[in-house]
Amino acid sequence: MNIFVLNIVFVLLFLLLGLYFVFFLLLHYLAKRRHTAALIALTSWLLHLPLFHSQLYGMRARAYGQQGDCRLAILDLDHVLEGHPHLAWAYYERGTQYANLKDHGEAIEDFSEALDLHPRLVSAYYARGLIYSAVREEENALNDFGAALALNPRVTAIYFHRALLHLRSRDYKLALQDIDMLIRLQPDEASTYKYQGIFYYQLKDFEQALSCFNYALQLDPGDAATSHQRALVHMALHQLPQAQNDLSQALALDSLSLCFHYSLTALQFCLELPALNTEAMADRLEQIATLNSAPELSLLCCAIALYLRQQPEEALASLQQALVLDPNNSSIHLWLCIVYASLQHDQEARSALDIALESSLPLILFTPLQLVAPLNPGFYQQDVLPILSSLPSLPAPTTN
């Protein structure tokens, strides 16, 4: 009798484990296909069963992260770490969610904890290096990128980000070495030439950047991000019809990208400025702000709309919120300059303008500085006119 009961128990356990195996295969299939809603529903149901809770919470956390619910992902990872405080992957995943929320301090703490537990975790060095780079701790970022490449010298994205750090410190020789390494590692990869093009764009070598992006799009014509980057180069070269074509192509490939919508709208704003319909432009900006794929750009679009509706104080508040989310965004600094100047805050306007000018923002996108002229003639004559005088005459507005 006892042997019979034991056999029944073993059979039931075997069946239960078999069911879990089938369910986990299904979960991995859903994760690979990015069916996040189905993945969340299935993991939520499986959590009522007694086994594998840490793995299920981890999978649901990744699904939440993929659909932008970073707070829910963090709650699931908190559950994992409460029961298993020595899981490096859980700290890494939670750090990733904090990074998505721009909570840099918590992200660095979690990535550091992951590395204490797993000192050879390349992805944690890379992720922490990106955070250090974002908060301008260049030495720490270089150390982390160097540690990651010492463990795995074939992670191409790290060479790109390290090249940008060298570029920021004007160490062009080291930056070029990293870009050359990218080419050696991925001579036939479109992304390699996209990275190279971004690098040359940052160096303001626009002709070389254009050549890189052209080749990248030959290798991968469907890369919307490369079309967007090439549009910026065309704007810098004042080839505006080509820029509009590239932005339209990027939107055709990814119609939900707020970044692409904003770039096309910003260019159209400049072209329409001599006879701008402010109400229609404000409506357009408010409409694309509802996409919410990039909160800082949503706030920027709303701020510009508020400014056009003659609500500069409200526009300033929205811009300041956007700046918290993305302190290095040159477009935010440009519009901060416009709003500050319109409010007669000349010192703050000059500081914002200096930051915008230090960036690689195409000069055509500085055209809205014209809005300052009737509101602050002194600032316009002294600070704005020298910039705008270097712009070629704008072509007549075009419609797409």
What pLDDT score was predicted for residue 301? 96
pLDDT digits (tens, 9 = 90+) for 238-295: 999 999 999 999 999 999 899 999 999 999 999 999 889 999 999 999 999 998 778 9
What pLDDT score was predicted for residue 326? 87
| Residue position matching structure tokens 């070495």 | 177
Q: How far apart (Å, rounded) are the C-alpha atoms in residues 315 and 112?
A: 38
The dihedral through the CA atoms of 91, 97, 98, 102 has a sign that is positive
Question: Which domains are seen in the chain, by residue range?
Answer: 256-400 (1.25.40.10)
The two three-digit tokens of residue 386, written as one number:
């020298």
What pLDDT score was predicted for residue 127? 96
Q: What is the percent of the chain with per-residue pLDDT over 70, rounded to a whole number?
A: 84
What pLDDT score was predicted for residue 178? 93
What pLDDT score was predicted for residue 400? 37
Name the nearest CA neighbour of 348 among 370, 316, 377.
316
Contact 352, 340 (CB under 8 A): yes
Three-state secondary structure call for residue 236: helix
pLDDT digits (tens, 9 = 90+) for 105-161: 999 999 999 999 999 999 999 999 999 998 889 999 999 999 999 999 999 999 999
What pLDDT score was predicted for residue 47? 58
Q: How far apart (Å, rounded) are the C-alpha atoms in residues 364 and 371?
A: 14
The residue ranges of the chain whose pLDDT is under 70 are 1-2, 4-58, 393-400
Name the nearest CA neighbour of 39 among 17, 25, 69, 60.
60
Contact 194, 210 (CB under 8 A): no
